[in-house]
Amino acid sequence: MWPINNGKERIHQPNKSKMLSRQEIKAIESWISQMGPFQFYKTVIQNVSTARKTLKFKYKMVGHGFNRVVFDLNNGYILKIALSEVGLISTANEAYIYNNCNEEVKKYLCPVKEYGTGWIIMKKMDINMPRAIMEYPKLIKLELKFLKYGIIPIDLRLANVGFTENDEMVVIDYGLFTKDLNSPVLRWLV
């Protein structure tokens, strides 16, 4: 399930989608193959720009971080695509965590619809930073809940949460969470 096996070779996930066209999957595969093992010599802006030119998506880019770029699919879902090795790990990790966690914490994770090597489609959530700041005590309780169910919520912060239609706080970026002390996430961080 992890994109890296023992830190040396990539394990490929299926690249089939009901939401993305075959051409879009091919564009993602092309980008991932060009990405190379390390992108640290480039700035984030350079990586994002190169990814956009390679992908040539019709979708609006709605954000990016150091390791992934996010597109709005205009159907209630977003598409995250890796910009780096950490992005590859994060994408696979979100799919793994969502599909293998306890139902009690799953409701606090942004739902995963589909995923493949270097990409993941998730439900689009409302991101309201001023409101999130007011909900900071909920974030602390959420962290404790994840820990209780065996998930280490690395990088749980206000910028990584959104809200459901019912105003429930949901983690929208949990790519660095881990259920396993031997996970590639922890190997990459230490």
SS3 for 42-57 is CCHHHHHHHHHHHHCC
Residue 50 tokens, joined: 């190169």
Q: Name the average pLDDT for the chain.
A: 84
CB distance 88 to 3 below 8 Å: yes
Q: Over the stretch 22-36, which tens digit does the pLDDT of each residue have?
A: 999 999 999 998 876
d(C-alpha 64, C-alpha 66), whole Å: 7
Lowest mean pLDDT among 71-80, 123-132, 140-149: 123-132
Residues with Cβ within 8 Å of 98's Cβ and at least 6 positions away in sequence, in order, are 106, 109, 111, 112, 174
pLDDT in tens, 81-140: 999 888 999 999 999 999 999 999 999 999 999 999 999 999 999 887 667 677 888 899
pLDDT score of 134? 79
Rg, C-alpha atoms of the chain: 16
Comparing 181 with 189, the larger pLDDT belongs to: 181
pLDDT of residue 180: 75
What was the pLDDT predicted at 37? 54
d(CA 156, CA 168): 16
pLDDT at residue 46, as a whole number: 83
Percentage of the chain lying above the pLDDT 70 cut: 82
Give the confidence band of 185 by pLDDT, cuts at 50, 70, 90.
Answer: low
Q: Distance between CA 172 and CA 161 in Å, rounded? A: 5
How much is the pLDDT for 41?
56
- Structure confidence at residue 43 (pLDDT): 78
Which run of H or of E encompasses 111? none
Which pLDDT band holds residue 183 (cuts at 50, 70, 90)? low
SS3 readout for 141-157: HHHHHHHHCCCECCCCC
